Structures are given as C-alpha cells and as structure tokens.
Amino acid sequence: MRMLKSAALSIDKSAARAAELFDFSRGRVSPGTLTAALWPGLVRSLVRQFSQGVAGVTGTNGKHTTCRILAAILQQADARTLYPEDIAPSLDEVVSTLVRATDRRGRIQADYGVFGFETGMLDRAIKICNPGTLVLNNLYDDEAVQGVDRAALIGKWCDWFGTMSAGQHILVNADDPVLCGGLTRGVPPRLTYYGVEDERLHLADAATPEVPCPRCGVPLTYRITSLAHLGDYVCKGCGWERPLPTVYAIDVDLEPDESNFRIITPRGPLDVRLRLSGLHNVYNAAAAAAAALSLGLSPVTIRKGLESVRSTGGRDERVVIHDREARLMTIKNRTSLLEALRTCRLDRQRGHFLFLLDEAVQGGRDGPWIVDEDLVGMVNHSRSVHVAGAGGAHLALMDEQMDAEDMASAADVSDVFHDIMRRLTPGDRLWVLATESAMYAVRRELRDMGVI
C-alpha cells in the first residue's frame, strides 16, 4: 500500500510538470489534481501525517495574513510548519501543497499544516483536512455581493461543526455579530471568542451598520463601530449582545508603519509591536494569538512570533527602489478598500497614491465598489493621485489626469507603476492600492527584477 501511494503521488507530480512544460493546461493542472479526483482518501492520509494537526482560517478577509502570523508564531516554537504563503485559499491549492510537500516515500515531514479556506469550501475542508483548530475571521457584506446569503451560510456551518469532535477548537471573532449569532447554541463543542476592545477606534463619522439581530431580527444597536460591521453591539429587542472575548486587544495605537497594542489572554497580557499597519491587522494578530494559545504555545513565544512578522505578498508590503518607497496594498472588495484608505490616512506626510484597478471593481452589489467619493479625501491628503486600468474608467479622476486615455487603457499595469515611481524624488512614498490580478502583475515584475 505504501508503494502504491508513493507511485500515485509521483505520477501526479509528473503529470503536472508535463502539463506545465508543454503548456497543455496553461498552469491549470497542479500537483494534487489527479490525487484529489481519483483518490481522495489519499489526501486525508497525507493530512494525518501532521503530528500536531491542521490549523485553518476562513472568512471574507484576512485569511492569508492570519495564517502567516500563526506560522511565524509556530516557527518561534521551533515547530515544523507547512504553510504555503503564495497560494490562493482554495482546497485545490491546499491539496497541491500537500502533494508537493511529500518525499519519495509519500511522507510529509511537518508538525503543523496552516491553511486558509474560502468560506464556500469550508465543508469540504472540514471533511478532508479535519482542522483541529479553526479560526472564523469575519463575514463581511462583500460576501452578499457574490450572491452568498450569510445567514444561510452560518446555518450550514453549524451543521458542519456538529460533525466535529469535542477535541477540535473553533475561534470566533466576537466583534462580528453575523458570525456570533449562529454559533452560541451549543455549537461547536469547544468555542473561544477573540476581538478588539478600544473605544478610541470608534468610527464616529461612519454610518451605523444595518445588521439585524440573528435571534429576533431587530436592528442591532452599536456602542462602538470599529471596522465595517465589527464592533460592540447589543439587541434592544431580545437582549442578545456581543459575547465576551477571552483573548482581545486593548490600548491600540495605529501608526502608518506599525501597530502597538496589548493582548489580554487567560495566561497574562502581551505587549506587542506589530510591524504591520491597520486595524485589520490587529484583528488578524488577535486571531493568530488566540489560535496559538489553543495549540498550547506560551505567551512569550506568541509575542516573539507576532513581533517577527514582516509585511509581504502585496499586503502592506514595503518595496524600495532607488530611495523611493512603494507600499503595496491589495484590495479585493469594498471593505478592504476602505480599511486600506484608513491606513493610508495614518501617514502624516502627504504622499503619492496609485490605484491599479481591473474589472473586478465592477462586481459590487449596486455597481463598482470604488466610487468618486472614496478618492475625494485622498486628493486633499496627497501630493498626487493616479488611477490606471479598465476598472477605473467610471471614476472622474481618471478623466482629470494628464494621460487619462493611456492610463485607462493600460495593458500592463506594472509599466504604469514603474513610470510613476520614476517621477518621484528620492525619499518619496507611493501608496499602491491594487486589485488582486493587478497586484500580481506588479509583484511578478518586481520579482523578475530581483527587488522582492
């Protein structure tokens, strides 16, 4: 049986290499494709080789970064960790990673597997990967834009969680009422809440989120609104309120280059200097810390891991070219856009801004998820603002640029990026907010240049 398994994995890898070499699939046949289709039991046997199990992260946003932070914490504990930093959070990519990680005898030499899962594939992930620790980050309204009924999705999750054992652990963002409303009636066996508690983070100028109580349907009342519909909430109809988190961040100080805060845990407080900016990354750090605690790691190890993390992968990534800095921020939906803009405004210096937008921007519920009103404040906060790509054709700022026609029809957004960088003077900073495919193109060019 062992020889048969090794042979199957070898054939799978060889088929993927041949498809890539002869361009049969244009990169769409990855290792693991045949294994997952023809022998799903083999995939589960690979997962069982992790001596400490699998930790999974799901949610609308934050999957990559939360996984990366958790992997950094595990590294501080000298744990052998399989964490595929550059893959999409799809089950096919996870399977591909597992197959790639095997040696000639079909073995994986790792203690933990850390993977991100898209919200719509969580049922398959639970069946195949059987995560011992599962983090639920958030369910933003952007899910509804994609035709997802969040309440129905939570109901399905509860059914899936009911199949998990008492030894498995689910960690839930207490600040998200959409997540919490369906998970407090005895599901799952082990449940831990995490969050952020700091009144200074209240978005006083933001509209109050319109979130119905998951119990009685009455609109929730918010005492604090911190990010999208996250915050401190209560229902005045039935009395249901935000669960009390056992792991949470306080005294949050957001800076353009880092975030400083204290994490309260059952094992004592952690004072953290996180080299990632933005409140969304404070949430990601709290989620990773809660997961690490559930895995039995010490507070000292967790703090060291949090402080070792550096920005990468187009997620607040810092790139310096000829003394000019570019801050690369991927935006994939309206929530990530607004939080990226909020992070940019932390910079007290008037910088330069470049929006690289493809057709994905047009996928909003009521039209494009970036509109002129979003950019008005940035114009007043900057030395220059540029928009490029077909996804920005509806923006007034596109037409107001000197090279509007070229920017709107730019076939290679990486060329636009380098052109803007050349215009800067040494010491300048360019904030680059780009959709996922546009960011991929820019980073691929930077990788070919040896910059990243």
In a domain, 217, yes or no: yes
Calculate the alpha carbon distances from 18 to 22, 24, 108 in Å. Answer: 6, 8, 23
**Is residue 278 located within the same domain as residue 386?**
no
User: Which is more confident, 155 or 30?
Assistant: 155
Same domain membership, residue 372 and residue 344: yes
The answer to the question of residue 189 being in a domain is yes
Question: Quick one: tokens of 185?
Answer: 């009636």
- Between CA 9 and CA 100 the distance in angstroms is 9
* Residue 155 reports pLDDT greater than 90: no
Whole-angstrom CA distances from 354 to 38, 39, 341, 407 are 46, 46, 12, 11
Does 92 lie in the same domain as 68? yes
> Are both 322 and 263 inside the same structural domain?
no
pLDDT tops 60 at residue 128: yes
Average model confidence (pLDDT) across the chain: 86
Q: Are both 300 and 354 inside the same structural domain? A: no
Choose among 320, 316, 254: nearest CA to 282: 254
pLDDT digits (tens, 9 = 90+) for 3-34: 445 544 444 444 444 344 434 443 444 544 45
8 A C-beta contact, residue 224 and residue 232: yes
Q: Is residue 19 part of a domain?
A: no
pLDDT tens digit sequence for 341-363: 999 999 988 889 999 999 889 87
Is 18 inside a domain boundary?
no
Q: How far is CA 121 from CA 48, 94, 178, 208, 430, in A?
A: 20, 12, 18, 31, 36
Show the domain range for 205: 31-308
Last residue in a domain, options 283, 308, 333: 308
Is position 26 within any domain? no
> Got the DSSP string for 99-126?
HHH--TTS----SEEEEEE-GGGHHHHH
The H or E element spanning position 432 is: strand 429-434
Q: Angle 440-441-444 (CA atoms, 0-180°, nearest 5)?
A: 80
User: Pick from 279, 308, 337: which residue ends a domain?
Assistant: 308
Task: Give the whole-angstrom CA distance, residue 333 versus residue 370.
Answer: 9
Asked whether residue 399 falls in the same domain as residue 339, the answer is yes
Q: Is residue 231 helix, strand or coil? A: strand
- Looking at the fold, whether 114 and 186 belong to one and the same domain comes out as yes
In a domain, 376, yes or no: yes
Residue 249 vs residues 88, 121, 204, 260: alpha-carbon distances, Å: 28, 29, 20, 10
Rg of the chain (C-alpha set): 22
Instruction: Clarify whether residues 406 and 260 are in a common domain.
Output: no
Are 329 and 316 in contact, with CB atoms under 8 Å apart?
A: yes
> Which CATH number does the domain housing residue 250 bear?
3.40.1190.10
pLDDT given for residue 16 in this prediction: 45
Which residues lie across from 247 on neighbouring strands? 194
pLDDT of residue 334 exceeding 90, the answer is: yes
Q: Residue holding tokens 């997952």?
A: 36
Domain membership flag for residue 46: yes
* Peptide bond before residue 189 is cis, with ω within 30 degrees of 0: no
Co-location of 225 and 103 in the same domain? yes
| The last residue of a domain, from among 308, 336, 370 | 308
> What's the number of domains the chain is made of?
2
* 284 lies in the same domain as 335: no
pLDDT at residue 411 tops 50:
yes
- Residue 287 shares a structural domain with residue 341: no
Does 322 lie in the same domain as 261?
no
What's the pLDDT at 4? Answer: 42
Strands 315-321 and 191-196: unpaired
| Residue 250 is assigned to a structural domain of this protein | yes
**What CATH number does the domain containing 331 carry?**
3.90.190.20
What's the predicted TM-score (pTM) here? Answer: 0.90
